[in-house]
């Protein structure tokens, strides 16, 4: 066993030495080399094709690694957003749902890239090493064939020292080397062009799969991000209205409190009427008593008239105070901006504004308008509903009523 193994090694070394000698002589031009221009062209095409496939495989592997890194970063980002997006904010549950949808899109996308693009690319690439081995084997058999051909020619070239046994043996070896070489050469003449032509169909199929997966992923992702944008826009609008602003609670109501003013408006007039009625009743009673007693002295009448005049003056003062007080309270509740025109306005209108931007309402209690439309600013029906940065108004021409953002308008 050891002897046969050693003999095999010696034979292999002898073959390699013979081939090296043959190539050396061929390079020196001392022996002929079998030329095959068509095969050389196939070999050049194969080399370019293999290099292109190797580069594509390398770059696509790197692309998938980057995609998976972005997928992990996207999931971490959305998890962070779900944590900081407070539960009482609008769209909290929708944000979580869209984050899950986005994660599923990433998973589907990476799966398609790996399973439908990378696996076929690896299969395509695996053909080249095997074909390269066959090409190298064909090269070795070609050297063997040339070597046997040259040896046989040498045996035939010297008629004086011609050994028919060696010539016969050399002929057999030449025919065997030629048959082995031509068989490999014929197979490669068929396989190399077929492999080269397959590059177009493979590339088309592979790129179509890649681009279709990209198109679906980005289209569906765009829908998810559109929904996320709508959620944040709604949060911004509600925040602008002050929906999430902390309000201070105080035990004592300020003089500008709507409740305090409304109580003054409600209670002042009845109290004044009661006082006036009581004074009138006491005056009438005193006059009747004086008449019954027959006391009609100038002093009594003067005192009665004086009291009556005093009561009339008091009633007039109280009436004037009641007339002025509501106007002051309106100014306290609704700060009319400096520069606003308040003259010649219809009753109940505080001032007028003109729209500088288009606004579309988002709730039924809001007012929509276009640029240039005139709006009459009025009081809120319930002062407690007033929100910072928002006004109540009626649009001229249509008499539509509702709330609107003040920063979308300018004073007239």
Tell me, yes or no, whether 294 and 406 share the same domain. no
The better pLDDT of the pair 206, 308 is held by 206
Out of 14-28, 93-107, 284-298, give the one with best mean pLDDT. 93-107
> Pick from 194, 214, 240: which residue ends a domain?
240
182 has pLDDT over 90: yes
3 has pLDDT over 50: yes
Residue 251 maps to a domain: no
Residue 339 maps to a domain: no
What is the domain count for the chain?
3
Tell me, yes or no, whether 195 and 101 share the same domain. yes
Residue 9 maps to a domain: no
373 has pLDDT over 90: yes
313 has pLDDT over 70: no
Q: Which of 131, 106, 160 is nearest to 53 (CA)?
A: 131
List Cα–Cα distances, 332 to 329, 346, 375, in angstroms. 5, 20, 22
Q: Give the burial class of 369: count Cβ atoms within 10 A of its Cβ; 0-12 exposed, 13-18 middle, 19 or more buried.
A: buried
Tell me, yes or no, whether 165 and 281 share the same domain. no
Residue 362 is classified by DSSP as S
Tell me, yes or no, whether 96 and 230 share the same domain. yes
343's tokens? 């003259």
Q: What is the CATH number of the domain that holds 202?
A: 1.20.1270.60
The pLDDT-based confidence of 1 (bands split at 50, 70, 90) is low
395 has pLDDT over 70: yes
**Domain interval for residue 308:** 258-333
Tell me, yes or no, whether 276 and 183 share the same domain. no
Contact between residue 40 and residue 68 where contact means Cβ atoms under 8 Å apart: no
Residue 2 maps to a domain: no
pLDDT, mean of residues 370-380: 93
Tell me, yes or no, whether 65 and 184 share the same domain. yes
Tell me, yes or no, whether 327 and 362 share the same domain. no
**H/E element, 401:** strand 401-405
Residue 3 maps to a domain: no
287 has pLDDT over 90: no
Q: Which of 398, 335, 321 is nearest to 367 (CA)?
A: 398
> Pick from 197, 212, 240: which residue ends a domain?
240
Residue 1 maps to a domain: no
The better pLDDT of the pair 303, 360 is held by 360
In degrees to the nearest 10, what's the CA dihedral of 163, 164, 165, 170? 90
Q: What is the CATH number of the domain that holds 362?
A: 2.30.30.40
The better pLDDT of the pair 391, 35 is held by 391
Cα-Cα-Cα-Cα dihedral sign, residues 307, 313, 315, 318: negative
Cα-Cα-Cα-Cα dihedral sign, residues 394, 395, 400, 404: negative
- What is the tally of helices (H) and strands (E) in the chain? 7, 5
Residue 4 maps to a domain: no
The better pLDDT of the pair 190, 308 is held by 190
321 has pLDDT over 50: no
pLDDT, mean of residues 367-372: 93
Tell me, yes or no, whether 118 and 267 share the same domain. no
Q: What angle do CA 315, 316, 318 make, to 5 degrees?
A: 65
pLDDT, mean of residues 261-271: 40
The pLDDT-based confidence of 80 (bands split at 50, 70, 90) is very high
Percent of the chain whose predicted confidence (pLDDT) is above 90: 50
In degrees to the nearest 10, what's the CA dihedral of 281, 282, 287, 292? 100
> Pick from 240, 275, 308: which residue ends a domain?
240
306 has pLDDT over 70: no
Residue 33 maps to a domain: yes
Residue 408 is classified by DSSP as G
What span, in angstroms and rounded, lies between the C-alpha atoms of 47 and 123? Answer: 17
39 has pLDDT over 50: yes
pLDDT, mean of residues 233-237: 92
Residue 209, pLDDT score:
96
Residue 340, pLDDT score:
87
The pLDDT-based confidence of 10 (bands split at 50, 70, 90) is low
Tell me, yes or no, whether 210 and 281 share the same domain. no
The pLDDT-based confidence of 226 (bands split at 50, 70, 90) is very high
133's tokens? 């081995």
SS3 365: coil
Tell me, yes or no, whether 315 and 366 share the same domain. no
pLDDT, mean of residues 324-329: 45
Residues sharing a CB contact under 8 Å with residue 372, sequence separation 6 or more, in sequence order: 354, 355
List Cα–Cα distances, 234 to 90, 228, 366, 374, in angstroms. 7, 10, 14, 26
Tell me, yes or no, whether 164 and 297 share the same domain. no
Q: Give the burial class of 284: count Cβ atoms within 10 A of its Cβ; 0-12 exposed, 13-18 middle, 19 or more buried.
A: exposed
Tell me, yes or no, whether 214 and 304 share the same domain. no
The better pLDDT of the pair 265, 211 is held by 211
pLDDT, mean of residues 261-270: 40
Residue 384, pLDDT score:
82
Residue 261, pLDDT score:
40
């Amino acid at each position: 066993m050891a002897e046969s193994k050693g003999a095999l090694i010696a034979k292999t070394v002898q073959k390699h030495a013979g081939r090296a000698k043959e190539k050396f002589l061929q390079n020196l031009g001392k022996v002929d080399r079998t030329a095959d221009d068509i095969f050389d062209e196939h070999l050049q095409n194969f080399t370019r094709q293999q290099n292109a496939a190797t580069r594509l495989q390398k770059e696509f592997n790197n692309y998938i690694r980057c995609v998976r890194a972005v997928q992990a970063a996207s999931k971490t980002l959305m998890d962070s957003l779900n944590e900081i997006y407070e539960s009482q904010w609008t769209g909290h549950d929708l944000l979580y749902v869209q984050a899950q949808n986005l994660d599923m899109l990433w998973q589907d996308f990476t799966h398609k890239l790996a399973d439908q693009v990378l696996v076929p690319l690896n299969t395509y690439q695996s053909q080249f090493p095997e074909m390269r081995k066959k090409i190298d084997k064909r090269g070795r058999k070609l050297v063997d064939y040339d070597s046997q051909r040259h040896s046989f020619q040498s045996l035939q070239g010297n008629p004086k020292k011609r050994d028919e046994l060696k010539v016969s043996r050399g002929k057999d070896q030449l025919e065997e080397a030629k048959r082995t070489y031509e068989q490999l050469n014929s197979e490669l003449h068929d396989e190399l062009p077929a492999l080269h032509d397959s590059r177009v169909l493979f590339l088309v199929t592979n790129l179509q799969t890649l681009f279709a997966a990209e198109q679906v992923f980005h289209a569906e992702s765009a829908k998810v991000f559109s929904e996320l944008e709508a959620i944040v826009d709604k949060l911004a609008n509600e925040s602008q209205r002050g929906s999430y602003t902390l309000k201070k609670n105080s035990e004592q109501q300020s003089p500008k409190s709507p409740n305090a003013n409304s109580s003054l408006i409600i209670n002042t007039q009845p109290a004044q009427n009661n006082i006036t009625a009581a004074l009138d009743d006491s005056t009438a009673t005193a006059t009747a008593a004086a008449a019954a007693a027959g006391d009609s002295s100038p002093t009594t009448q003067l005192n009665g008239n004086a009291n009556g005049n005093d009561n009339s003056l008091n009633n007039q003062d109280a009436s004037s105070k009641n007339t002025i007080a509501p106007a002051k309270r309106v100014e306290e509740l609704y700060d009319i901006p400096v520069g606003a025109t308040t003259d010649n306005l219809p009753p109940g209108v505080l001032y007028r504004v003109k729209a500088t931007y288009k606004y579309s309402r988002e709730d039924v209690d809001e007012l929509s308008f276009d640029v240039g439309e005139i709006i009459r600013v009025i009081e809120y029906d319930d002062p407690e509903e007033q929100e910072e940065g928002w006004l109540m108004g009626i649009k001229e021409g249509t008499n539509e009523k509702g709330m609107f953002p003040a920063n979308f308008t300018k004073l007239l």
